[in-house]
């Protein structure tokens, strides 16, 4: 049986301890074929796959394309014209370093697992997603950092571009357990101050909490000119509320918060409330030009991330 062809960096990555615990070979195989491309030009300190704002520096050929009237004459590849008797334009792409910071929600609500999520809690799903993204970013020589938080920041690993930095991130992810309540707004405000340089901020969370406060915090990030990418993690149970018999729901974050209800009676109201919540969140993100990607733990997280990155590339 022949598996996917791996890039040399992938073989290096797989040789590292603990990484295989988090990512399967199949997952890694998929990621090495993808390119994480930032939507906007972010200031970088080293050349990479990303466009640089500094012109004439570190230019790399990308591809030929058919000449169309209006293109500059100087960009015509005359060698190709000599060979093929057709006019082609040479296209170049400048690359720069990307500083990405992954903010991972470790609050109690992320500890929920339903019957359809293969035993994975939302938190498990989130750390795998974070590991994937870290690997991909480091593979592209981008800097990546990790912040775990609940009501406050629990750990902070500043962005680094060294390959060994992945080990530090994986170690931290492995240690993280969901607990306590969530206070996204305060944490995010705090992180805006900590992340001095512009870059990509990746938030992996269920975003449960005060929505207005949250949107203000996200706006704060945008105000600091960070690129925002949010993976909102859902369990399928939270999306369709499949419960039938009488159920006592206990809060994962706060003790003594429990409600005995007839799920059939409140299901529709819950779903309406959920739809309202998601609509409000989506609208808020769109308003601040933040990319919001809902993800469900019953779908392969690697597929979801890959689909999103593909979407980013097409949007360029």
Interacting residues toward other proteins by CB under 8 A: 108-112, 122, 206, 208-209, 235, 238, 243, 245-254, 257, 259-262, 264-270, 272-274, 276-277
> Residue 315 burial (CB < 10 Å; 0-12/13-18/19+)?
exposed
Distances (CA, A) of 229 to 10, 202, 203, 294: 24, 5, 6, 11
From the list 139, 172, 140, the residue with the least C-alpha distance to 157 is 172
Which CB atom, from 52 or from 182, has the smaller least distance to other proteins?
182
CB of 153 to other proteins, least distance (A): 21
Task: Centre a 10 Å sphere on the Cβ of residue 181 and count the other Cβ atoms it contains.
Answer: 15
Q: Are 141 and 163 in contact (CB under 8 A)?
A: no
Closer residue to other proteins (CB): 227 or 238: 238
CB 290 within 8 A of CB 230: yes
Nearer to other proteins, 188 or 234 (CB): 234
Q: How near is the Cβ of 238 to other proteins at its closest, in Å?
A: 5
Rounded to a whole number of angstroms, the minimum distance from the CB of residue 136 to other proteins is: 28
Q: Which is nearer to other proteins, 25 or 264 (CB)?
A: 264
> CB 248 → other proteins: shortest distance, Å?
5
Give the integer Cα–Cα distance in Å for 274 and 284: 15
8 A C-beta contact, residue 291 and residue 285: yes
- For other proteins, the closer CB: 93 or 181: 181
Instruction: Give the nearest distance from C-beta 118 to other proteins in angstroms.
Output: 17
């Amino acid at each position: 049986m022949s598996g996917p062809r791996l890039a040399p960096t992938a073989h290096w990555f797989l040789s590292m301890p603990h990484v295989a615990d988090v990512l399967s070979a199949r997952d890694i195989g998929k990621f090495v074929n993808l390119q994480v491309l930032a939507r906007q030009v972010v200031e970088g300190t080293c050349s990479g796959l990303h466009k640089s704002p500094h012109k004439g520096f570190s230019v790399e050929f990308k591809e030929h394309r058919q000449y169309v009237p209006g293109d500059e004459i100087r960009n015509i590849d005359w060698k190709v014209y000599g060979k093929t008797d057709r006019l082609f334009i040479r296209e170049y792409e400048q690359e720069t370093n990307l500083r990405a910071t992954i903010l991972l929600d470790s609050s109690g609500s992320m500890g929920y697992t339903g019957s359809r999520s293969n035993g994975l809690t939302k938190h498990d799903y989130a750390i795998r997603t974070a590991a994937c993204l870290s690997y991909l970013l480091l593979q592209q020589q981008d800097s990546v950092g990790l912040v775990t938080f609940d009501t406050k920041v629990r750990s902070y690993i500043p962005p680094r571009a060294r390959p060994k930095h992945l080990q530090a991130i994986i170690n931290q992810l492995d240690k993280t357990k969901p607990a306590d309540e969530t206070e996204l707004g305060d944490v995010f405000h705090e992180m805006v101050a900590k992340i001095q340089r512009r870059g990509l901020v990746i938030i992996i969370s269920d975003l449960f909490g005060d929505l207005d406060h949250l949107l203000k915090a996200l706006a704060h990030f945008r105000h600091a000119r960070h690129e925002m990418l949010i993976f909102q993690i859902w369990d399928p149970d939270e999306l369709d509320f499949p419960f039938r018999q009488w159920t006592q729901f206990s809060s994962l974050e706060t003790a003594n918060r429990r409600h005995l209800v007839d799920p059939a009676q409140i299901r529709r109201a819950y779903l309406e409330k959920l739809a309202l919540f998601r609509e409000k969140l989506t609208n808020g993100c769109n308003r601040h030009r933040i990319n919001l990607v809902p993800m469900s733990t019953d779908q392969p997280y690697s597929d979801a991330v890959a689909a999103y990155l593909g979407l980013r590339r097409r949007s360029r």
